[in-house]
Amino acid sequence: MKKVSYVIIFTLFFSLFYFTNIDTTHAASSSQLIIINKKTNKLAYYNEGRVVKSFKVATGRKNSYTPEGSFKIVNKIKNRPYYKLKIPGGDPRNPLGDRWLGINARGTWGTTYAIHGNSNPASIGTYASAGCIRMYDNEVRWLFERVKVNTKVIIINSSKSFDAIAQANGYKVYSKIKSVAVSKNSPQPANTSISISTKLTQNTPSLYRFYVHNGSKWTLLKGYSTVGTLNWKPTKAGNYQIKVQVKGKNSWKNYDDQKVISYKVYNPAVVASIKADKISPQLTNTSINISTQTNSQKDNIYKYLVFDGKKWTTIKNYSSSTKVTWKPTISGTYTIKVQAKHKLSNKQFDHEKTIFYSIFDKAVVKTLSVNKPSPQTSNTNLTISAQTNNQQYNLVKYLVFDGKNWITVKDYSSRTNVAWTPTTSGTYKIKVQAKHKWSKNAYDSEKVMDYVVYAPSKIKEVQTSTINPTLEVPVLITVLTQQTANQQYKFSIFNGIEWKVLKDYSNSNKYEWKPSAPGTYKIKVETKNIHSKAAFDDTRELNFIVPEVKNTEQN
């Protein structure tokens, strides 16, 4: 017995010598809690009703090694020696590390069971100790500086959350918000349904309350309930703040924690109108200014596109410009589209509007012709034809100028030819005017040609100065025709054997014939219009007898 007593006295003396680094000055704390869950090999440190931090730990190699129950931190020791192998405190070989948080487990007073560091970091997270709770050295130092003596320690083997374990052991757990999330990222258009959800740092039974600030005041969206989500549908644009407050079910506070996030809501762009400064249709290569009006010119951006029947072409990509100049070079019926979106919008477009616009090529007269070449006699049935660059869409008008007035033979129509029967001779101008059926011009282009119409020559009378010409007395033959202009005259003679031309066609209607020999003669007069292609238009023959000259000389 004396030997045993000496051992006890020596042990107490030795302990006092080495426990000079014991920290027992901290007051008891009811606001702190440590939970060690052997099932997960994790330690949670609570302060002021919330989990401050959690750590991986190592516990007993056998489940029974590490005691379970409710204990307290009874001492805090820096650089505790490892007595079994007489390794000084602070020695890198010391399996206890350099921090010791003694626990009064199984009737001990912090000398047997503790939360401490270790010299084998690979063991953390496993079942490796003889009953203590091992931590990484740097983490146990962090915990050592914060934990007070008399802090409650719960060691348990459980599938429950830390908060559930804490509350089951009478600790008031205050809720702490980890994050507030929205189903649709800011910004969003007005009248969009947005789900607001709250995530806590621990799965603690909690109550949730939601507020929104519209720039002037806070409005309660939903009072405290056990549901941590809320559907919010803002109807007006603005810069909002969403506030979520949370508290534990047993919390006496107004709220344990709160989080505020900002959220922008905008009015989607709405295209009110599209206008062109020139009324459709227009000629190709015409500069057309397209403008748009929306619900908010300053906040919206605009994109302009044109569809030519095959593909969409962007005239101008998104910008703040409310107008664009378009100069189409190809005819056709186009679709002009304006897409608008708010400058905060993430959509391809908020709204769009289209108009139709027709573009045409100027009509060009390519050919103008008459089915019979000029000249032609009056009262000849003629057909005037015209060819244009676009027979399908062009209109044609036919006119004739008679020397005094322009006369419309046929007004604008789609016909490419017209009948014309001139009744009066003269040099005409035939004109064709063409325009596209959409053109507002009097005409787009025209072509003019000359055309001669004549009346065949007609002999009215043939006058002679004498009816009995002689070898001494010539005869003057004068031809009078019904027309006086553009007449030609030809004089021929038949001497009984053959015809001979006395005078070929000329514009002289007179010929003086002086017989050179007696005899019976025929003189033929032929006339024609200078435009005539005939040998003659009209003819007359005159008969003359030229007597012999009698000898009146007396013997």
Is the pLDDT reported for residue 135 higher than 90? yes
Chain mean position to CA 312: 9
Q: Is the pLDDT of residue 552 over 80?
A: no
Give the integer Cα–Cα distance in Å for 404 and 509.
Answer: 29
3-state secondary structure 434-445: EEECCCCCCCCE
Cross-strand pairs, 491: 503, 525
Cα separation, 536 vs 505, in Å, equals: 10
Give the pLDDT confidence of 157-208 residue by residue, as tens digits.
Answer: 999 999 889 989 989 888 889 999 999 999 999 999 999 999 988 777 889 9
Whether residue 367 has pLDDT greater than 50? yes
Q: Nearest 5 degrees, angle CA 262-CA 266-CA 272?
A: 175
What pLDDT is recorded for position 551? 64
Q: Which DSSP category does 137 fall into?
A: H
| pLDDT at 8 > cutoff 60 | no
Q: What is the 3-state secondary structure (H, E, C) of 94-131?
A: CCCCCEEEEECHHHCCCCCEEEECCCCHHHCCCEEECC
- HSE-up of residue 70 (Cα within 13 Å, Cβ side): 8
pLDDT band, residue 280 (cuts 50/70/90): very high
**386-398 pLDDT tens trace:** 999 999 999 999 9
Catalytic positions, written as ranges: 116, 132
Residues written for the chain: 555
- Please indicate whether residue 362 or residue 248 has the higher confidence score (pLDDT): 362
Please report the domains of the chain, with CATH numbers, ordered by start residue. 2-168 (2.40.440.10), 177-266 (2.60.40.10), 271-360 (2.60.40.10), 365-454 (2.60.40.10), 459-546 (2.60.40.10)
Token representation of residue 493? 């003679």
Percent of the residues in the chain that have a pLDDT greater than 90, as a whole number: 85
326 pLDDT tier (thresholds 50, 70, 90): very high
Tokens of 25: 């000055």
Contact 22, 76 (CB under 8 A): yes
Residues 164, 398: Cα–Cα separation, whole Å: 101
Q: What is the pLDDT of residue 29?
A: 53
Cα separation, 98 vs 116, whole angstroms: 8
